[in-house]
Homo-oligomer: A and B are copies of this chain.
Amino acid sequence: MDVYQSKIHHWLEQNREKSLSFLQSLINEPSTQGNEEAVQTLIVNKLKEIGLEVDLWELDGENLKKNPYFFSPRDQFKGSPNVVGVLKGEGSGRSILLNGHVDVVPAGDLTQWDKDPYQGEVVDGKMYGRGTTDMKGGNLSLYLAIEVIKELGIKLKGDVILHSVVEEESGGAGTLDAILKGYNADAAIIPEPTNMKIFPKQQGSKWFRLYVKGRAAHGGMRYHGVSAIEKSLIVLNHITDLERLRNERIDDPLYKNVPIPVPINIGRIEGGDWPSSVADLVKLEGRIGIAPNENIDDVQKELEQWMQELANIDPWFEEHPVEIEWYGARWLPGSIDENHTLMGILSKQYQTVLGKEPVIEASPWGTDGGLLTQVGDTPSVVFGPGLSHMAHFPNEYIEVDKIFEVAEIIALTVIEWCGVKEV
């Protein structure tokens, strides 16, 4: 295997600048939900250039809607195509699925960015921009891993299937549609930003919306009304209590270094319609983390019952219960056996390239690995170059060296997993 490593390493060094330019062109496209077409076109060209068989198609909302695993805030996907590239093997080897999403979350408050979020500027070995870490940088590792195998003339026995999917950030409809089209494999690697840690277990999550009721009144006589904003404070504190309770239960050693293994995040709040009226309705939108060993239905029931408990804290909620709507996105939790062959190969090649043991942990967020495991019957491991804590962050960046390290580790892992046809 040593012979492959040095050649791969050398080729990656040679192609470093060209590859980073390509990554910048991906960052230049603000591929937020509904705007992924331009970036997918770049990727189609790249995959064709590498020599893959490429399939590009728009997600079939009508068909997806009928699937129990479909979760998305939308069911129309015009302008949001999926791309799959396939490198057919020579036969009788294990197949591998390399999955990465191209959708990014919005840049948020631009005043908190020191850099243009869509320029991809490189300073001190870091490339800045929305999607650098989550996860266009990791995707580049995949393209490079496949390209170097092709360029070095290595003939794999098993197939390599590359998913370049949309909709990961809102529930995985892109990966689901790719699975439904038959693009599965014997195992999968997803280079989400794990900061070079290996995540055999992935947290699931589900979005929800809470409706907190008040009673309107003129603000000058606010004592005649009931402020849905004030009542929301009670609801928010109550949710924090549930989060604490749920996390006290977690005893999986893979979570021992994670401050809050399964967070409940309220990401959006909106309520009231006039500064001088008492707000009669507040909407809260959030995501609840689901531990790898939890069942989504049980978690939903727990949150619903917890909201009913509000009536014991404030009698207002007896007559005006908080309503829960389970909307939009859902990520299934996922896991691969810690002793799975792919885990062993990946850990070994990590050590080959970096000369140290990898850190094995459980992921603090959902990935499409849950769908791959549960629907696509493809056990999945998450391992990538980005920094977890920079995902969805202003000034998101990726350390560019890590992209190439991961490319090298994944190339070697794919070679060992798929097997090489001797010539």
Instruction: Choose one: B237, B274, B329; the contact of A276 (CB below 8 Å).
Output: B329
> Is the CB–CB distance between B271 and A221 below 8 Å?
no
A287 at the interface (CB under 8 A from B): yes
A364 touching B221 in the complex, CB below 8 Å, given contacts A108-B216, A229-B266, A278-B267: yes
A392 touching B218 in the complex, CB below 8 Å, given contacts A227-B266, A280-B109: yes
A267-311 contact mask (Cβ, 8 Å, vs B): 1 or 0: 111111111111111100111010000000000000000000000
> Is the CB–CB distance between A263 and B223 below 8 Å?
yes
Tell me the complex Cα distance, A38–B158, Å. Answer: 74
A389 at the interface (CB under 8 A from B): yes
Chain B residues near A93 (CB, 8 Å)? none
A267 touching B272 in the complex, CB below 8 Å, given contacts A286-B219, A392-B277: yes
A 328-363 contacts with B by CB, 8 A: 328-329, 363
Tell me the complex Cα distance, A208–B236, Å. Answer: 24
Smallest CB-CB separation from A133: which chain B residue? B218
Q: Distance (Å) between the CB of A258 and the closest chain B CB?
A: 8
Q: Distance (Å) between the CB of A103 and the closest chain B CB?
A: 12
- A residues sitting closer than 8 Å to B (CB atoms) are 105-106, 108-109, 112, 134, 169, 203, 205, 207-208, 215-225, 227, 229-230, 232-233, 236-237, 259-260, 263, 265-282, 285-287, 289, 328-329, 363-366, 388-389, 391-394
Return 5 A-B CB contacts under 8 Å, by A number.
Answer: A108-B280, A216-B392, A227-B266, A233-B233, A267-B279
Instruction: Choose one: B268, B277, B282; the contact of A279 (CB below 8 Å).
Output: B268
Tell me the complex Cα distance, A393–B220, Å. Answer: 12
Q: Distance (Å) between the CB of A260 and the closest chain B CB?
A: 5
A sample of 14 more A-B contacts (CB under 8 A), given A218-B391, A268-B274, A270-B270, is A108-B216, A216-B393, A216-B394, A218-B388, A229-B236, A229-B266, A230-B236, A265-B275, A265-B277, A268-B271, A268-B272, A268-B273, A268-B275, A269-B272
Instruction: Choose one: B217, B227, B230; the contact of A392 (CB below 8 Å).
Output: B217
> Is the CB–CB distance between A112 and B216 below 8 Å?
yes
Q: Which of A205, A216, A280, A287 lies at the interface centre, i.e. has the most chain B CB atoms within 10 A of its CB?
A: A216
> Is the CB–CB distance between B267 and A276 below 8 Å?
yes
> Is the CB–CB distance between A364 and B275 below 8 Å?
no
Tell me the complex Cα distance, A274–B230, Å. Answer: 22
A393 touching B224 in the complex, CB below 8 Å, given contacts A105-B277, A266-B229: yes
> Is the CB–CB distance between B286 and A269 below 8 Å?
no
